[in-house]
Structure 1
């Protein structure tokens, strides 16, 4: 039997001490990317592996992992093994514990633990914060490794990914997010010719007389794509649609129907996993959307990777573009007169809110309670009519789905919701924030059987108790020792980069930028530069004025990251094609083990942005916990950024920063490691 090594995200990095690259080579700089097809949905394939059972794996209730051979569970410095941790968590859940926190730093192999928890309990939804980590699960546990359930069958693991990852069979070579597909095309006058073509080709329509654009419905267009397969509540049965109707129980306890029409399109076929898969892996945005709508399938356990980031995200639900919502709702055409009146009233309220902002202007710094605006009534009415909700759901690409999701998220917490507004060009945006998570956790618990939160950087006990208001939970420890070695490199130009040093003119912008340049020049390459905020980097004028050549300007980084949707810069850095990587996107879900990263430069210590809506509201409504959470979040983000290059005991990384707060935090980590 061979032994294996994992990084902190559970990514396999070696067997018997030898590093093996399990990632498929990706062509850097190529504008083309490989789109998924139905053949990539491994959970739909028959288990053809008839290989002999080299050991009696069926007696191992808590562990299964196979490459070419069965792999032993990793043993931690506290004496536990991965198998012990799985047993401890499963037994807690079986005895009635609903919430378990798993604390495991680098080397824990949390992904293998997660999948074995699923194997023991029956089925699981696994949630990861970013697509990169979702991709790691796929590469490691759907291609290189596998688990077997207690009957000997390979566990079926499925990924739920967005439309833009899948090849459209209706428009071969284009993604399922293509804006001209029947299920995506905007119902506007400029698309009339294409809409008429789709309408006349719809196999569900008897009457081919094309209606006015304002009366056109998505259901009149979308079925022209024979692969289009919606998911709807079972009480909204579309009897006229010829499809294989897969009924399943949603997390809200209600029955849903997946109308699977013509098979073959991987985007729609992936939803067969809601019934067929043992484990479904979601990114957190998709998971929260499916959870709020209630149509995520009920599973025996929910396992949240990078759990502290997930919990932080519960406070904010993003923004709603009011102008876009207004335009989107105008394309919803309900059948029932009372629903049409209901929608008309929502549009009136939206118009009043937008008009108010046009007349009075938008102060982005001002915080409102949601009931001081029309937003509370708008959200309440969006979920106040089941027929309107059904019309929105069936038009998956309609922007109104974003508002519907927000309405469901905040529906029971409106008394604790605050909003801010901003304007961008001719669009008015509203941002919603609630700091009372009790109703959200109640909703989460009502839609789940058990929850396992995994992280190498758990919140402090006080934050868990006072801010998240959780008391009935257990903590299980896996690997608790930080792997690898950290060393500080100084330039002599470091100083405390706190705001007051700049506002009092004790230090200048030039002092900071010259110190940053010194760090970048002195850092041993390859170097990862963690950019805390774009403004930490100079603009073109400052580069010329202060001779900062070699430091990327922030306008260029913004554009590069906006254009690089496939993460080509990160791939190139890992493959040694670039010596420096400037990024605001490498805090989590990306690993640079071994010699792929020799130095990390922090532009500044990663304190949260106090001008953000959430922090303003928290300071206003709960000042007693404000600074505790502020420091706690900064600490967790700092450690996570260090972890990007500390993936195993052999890793060694140099830390540089113009900010002495970073170096002080590294010294504290070094002292804790010695102790």
Structure 2
């Protein structure tokens, strides 16, 4: 700054300090930051958002409110004692910025998103481009917690932190003995480097050979890691945990520093539920659930556990305490007996059992009666035995309302559990946390919130409730009702359906997003060849493509215009294709849930009074979410096509209401 310019700044500061009613002294660097719009460190407002030195003002909605108004209403409600708040806001509301500002005002926040794409969006937008300023003048610290697959190992470059050959992941079994023995000898914390017997090897015996391995343990179960910095934090239900932070440099383990010092921690819903179940998630001032209707729906997702693999994993857990060791052996014995029983009498895969009447209930009781089992398992993230802890946390309080099915796959025995008591599941989240904010543009009906989830005491805060853009219908003349009974009765054929779907692709204005309701909606390789369906992929090809595309590259290719079609089962939430990014949306079929899923079967049997209302409510919300992937702004327009006439009818209903 030139000398004259700096003199003018000082003169202006002198005037400002004379007139400053708050009596704080404004210093030169603070004034310059004001000019650059980096943020007023004395600002006590409910809104902060900056990008490249510019302040971004809150959006204004069609109801006259702004994003800041929504933040203020939520924060004041929580401070006055409201524990559950629902924010109704459609796509384009800017719910992510609202969530971050709620956290900024209240202290610390956990933000939960349903899919990795939304996590990536938060990271891209708020860890790189945009930022928020706290009331002390510092930037809001935001950390996205991601799984091992997303981080490269520092011990073995070129592989991810989930690689099964790493010492913290390797299965402790006979065929891996040579590698295990090598890791044991390289463990700097062990003085006796003689080759151990496999039965005496614990995870703590080999994992420290990776100097970056940094476990999180209950504070009541300390472990000997003298090279670690012990960092204590408060988890849920009054439990304290210790993060044993060893050598820095591995992004997977280093991210858990955020449990101690980040203002905002962003989880995907799967990771959040696991961390909540084992109560290792840090205690924060507010839980903010994005796409909350899907989060609530996911309470109904059954847990499937491989009993054969569980028994093998428990064999590697060797407690020092005799009673704990006996309890683990008893669980293994129960599993072995169940395997013998199912081999003898066979498995009826469609048969549904009450959990309380099966040996699985005895396994849960053993864990509950022997809490040290958790201490033996919890630090070993790679041990499949962790699934046992999740099972106990998920279902121990819901035994009368939990049902199970069995199946055998590749000679291993699996059991699937599901509970229909979703209200208790939600109450668990509320009871473990200080406040819960639920955000979505497609919430359940009030009746479903009350009857299914038990949510009765809550406050609704309206954000933008008007859906953006316009929807058109394009007909091919080959539409028909694609319900299962029409195919079963041969009123319509599979060939008719596939030809109709192919015609939709021909007629659609590109770029086109194709929502594949189920892989079976696509032709197999034989059908593809016989019917000459050159514009459709086979179901086998889509399965393989999505399996190999964990980072969502196909989505980015479509958004960038390098591909004019995107077939996917994964874009119901969290990904937007506004403007010319997507001109048409094709539905392979109306997105009804699978009625043969164990949850819907059990719900129909146990709660017929609200089964159909919940079933139809779920389908309607998923349909809206999928359409509005292509509509983010008021001037967006999308054309909808489908072989299924139910889709066309549903769009017409939307057109009437909008």
Aligned counterpart, 1:62 = 46
Match status 1:104 vs 2:89:
yes
Q: Deviations 1:47-91 (Å, cap 9, x if unpaired)?
A: x99970246463342100001311110000000000000011111
Match status 1:280 vs 2:261:
no
Return the alpha-carbon distance in structure 1 between the equivalents of residues 44 and 653 of structure 2. Answer: 41
Return the alpha-carbon distance in structure 2 between the equivalents of residues 288 and 217 of structure 1. Answer: 27
Aligned counterpart, 1:255 = 240
Aligned counterpart, 1:628 = 613
How big is the alpha-carbon RMSD for the aligned residues of Structure 1 and Structure 2? 1.6
Aligned counterpart, 1:244 = 229
Shift of 1:542: 2.1
Alignment of 1:270-669 (within 5 A): 270-669=255-654
Shift of 1:594: 1.5
Return the alpha-carbon distance in structure 2 between the equivalents of residues 555 and 181 of structure 1. Answer: 32
- Asked if the contact 1:383–1:408 (Cα under 8 Å) also holds between the matched residues in 2, the reply is no
- Asked if the contact 1:383–1:404 (Cα under 8 Å) also holds between the matched residues in 2, the reply is no
Shift of 1:596: 1.5
3-state SS of 1:281 partner: strand
Return the alpha-carbon distance in structure 1 between the equivalents of residues 349 and 117 of structure 2. Answer: 33
Which shifted more, 297-306 or 198-207? Answer: 198-207
Shift of 1:334: 1.0
Shift of 1:329: 0.8
- Asked if the contact 1:252–1:295 (Cα under 8 Å) also holds between the matched residues in 2, the reply is no
Return the alpha-carbon distance in structure 2 between the equivalents of residues 556 and 265 of structure 1. Answer: 35
- Asked if the contact 1:574–1:592 (Cα under 8 Å) also holds between the matched residues in 2, the reply is yes
3-state SS of 2:577 partner: coil
1:78 to 44, 63, 84: 63
Match status 1:53 vs 2:34:
yes
Shift of 1:203: 1.7
Return the alpha-carbon distance in structure 2 between the equivalents of residues 503 and 188 of structure 1. Answer: 49
Shift of 1:630: 0.5
3-state SS of 1:235 partner: coil
Shift of 1:553: 1.6
The TM-score with structure 1 as length reference comes to: 0.91
Structure 1, gaps ≥5 residues long = 1-47
Return the alpha-carbon distance in structure 1 between the equivalents of residues 413 and 377 of structure 2. Answer: 21
Return the alpha-carbon distance in structure 1 between the equivalents of residues 365 and 46 of structure 2. Answer: 46
- Asked if the contact 2:147–2:252 (Cα under 8 Å) also holds between the matched residues in 1, the reply is yes
Match status 1:144 vs 2:125:
no
Structure 1: 4+ residue segments shifted above 4 A? 48-51
Shift of 1:672: 1.1
Q: Deviations 1:477-536 (Å, cap 9, x if unpaired)?
A: 100111011100000111111222222222221221111111111111111111101111
1:227–1:646 distance in 2 versus 1, CA, 3 Å: same
Return the alpha-carbon distance in structure 1 between the equivalents of residues 296 and 529 of structure 2. Answer: 43
1:265–1:50 distance in 2 versus 1, CA, 3 Å: farther
1:570–1:208 distance in 2 versus 1, CA, 3 Å: same
Which shifted more, 370-379 or 306-315? Answer: 370-379
Which shifted more, 466-475 or 384-393? Answer: 384-393
Which shifted more, 374-383 or 95-104? Answer: 374-383
- Asked if the contact 1:320–1:431 (Cα under 8 Å) also holds between the matched residues in 2, the reply is yes
Q: Deviations 1:105-125 (Å, cap 9, x if unpaired)?
A: 022000000000001111100
3-state SS of 1:209 partner: coil
- Asked if the contact 1:369–1:417 (Cα under 8 Å) also holds between the matched residues in 2, the reply is yes
Shift of 1:395: 1.5
Aligned counterpart, 2:174 = 189
Q: Deviations 1:114-141 (Å, cap 9, x if unpaired)?
A: 0000011111000000111000001001
2:119 to 127, 131, 134: 134
Aligned counterpart, 2:15 = none
Shift of 1:397: 0.1
Match status 1:88 vs 2:69:
no
3-state SS of 1:186 partner: coil
Return the alpha-carbon distance in structure 2 between the equivalents of residues 110 and 598 of structure 1. Answer: 25
3-state SS of 2:76 partner: helix
Larger Rg: 2
- Asked if the contact 2:512–2:583 (Cα under 8 Å) also holds between the matched residues in 1, the reply is yes
3-state SS of 2:34 partner: coil
Return the alpha-carbon distance in structure 2 between the equivalents of residues 49 and 386 of structure 1. Answer: 55
Q: Deviations 1:299-321 (Å, cap 9, x if unpaired)?
A: 00000001000000112242101
User: What is the aligned length?
Assistant: 626
1:208 to 172, 184, 193: 193
Shift of 1:179: 1.5
- Asked if the contact 1:353–1:373 (Cα under 8 Å) also holds between the matched residues in 2, the reply is no
Return the alpha-carbon distance in structure 1 between the equivalents of residues 91 and 41 of structure 2. Answer: 27
Q: Deviations 1:392-438 (Å, cap 9, x if unpaired)?
A: 11221001112211211111111111011222111221111001123
- Asked if the contact 1:497–1:658 (Cα under 8 Å) also holds between the matched residues in 2, the reply is yes
Return the alpha-carbon distance in structure 1 between the equivalents of residues 588 and 108 of structure 2. Answer: 43
Return the alpha-carbon distance in structure 2 between the equivalents of residues 460 and 330 of structure 1. Answer: 47
1:241–1:443 distance in 2 versus 1, CA, 3 Å: farther
- Asked if the contact 1:370–1:418 (Cα under 8 Å) also holds between the matched residues in 2, the reply is yes
- Asked if the contact 1:383–1:389 (Cα under 8 Å) also holds between the matched residues in 2, the reply is no
Return the alpha-carbon distance in structure 1 between the equivalents of residues 30 and 144 of structure 2. Answer: 21
Return the alpha-carbon distance in structure 1 between the equivalents of residues 108 and 129 of structure 2. Answer: 21
- Asked if the contact 2:88–2:439 (Cα under 8 Å) also holds between the matched residues in 1, the reply is yes
Return the alpha-carbon distance in structure 1 between the equivalents of residues 30 and 248 of structure 2. Answer: 25
3-state SS of 2:393 partner: helix
Return the alpha-carbon distance in structure 2 between the equivalents of residues 256 and 517 of structure 1. Answer: 56
- Asked if the contact 2:181–2:196 (Cα under 8 Å) also holds between the matched residues in 1, the reply is no
Match status 1:166 vs 2:166:
no
Aligned counterpart, 2:5 = none
- Asked if the contact 2:519–2:543 (Cα under 8 Å) also holds between the matched residues in 1, the reply is yes
- Asked if the contact 1:523–1:599 (Cα under 8 Å) also holds between the matched residues in 2, the reply is yes
Structure 2, gaps ≥5 residues long = 1-28
1:49–1:253 distance in 2 versus 1, CA, 3 Å: farther
Alignment of 1:215-234 (within 5 A): 215-234=200-219
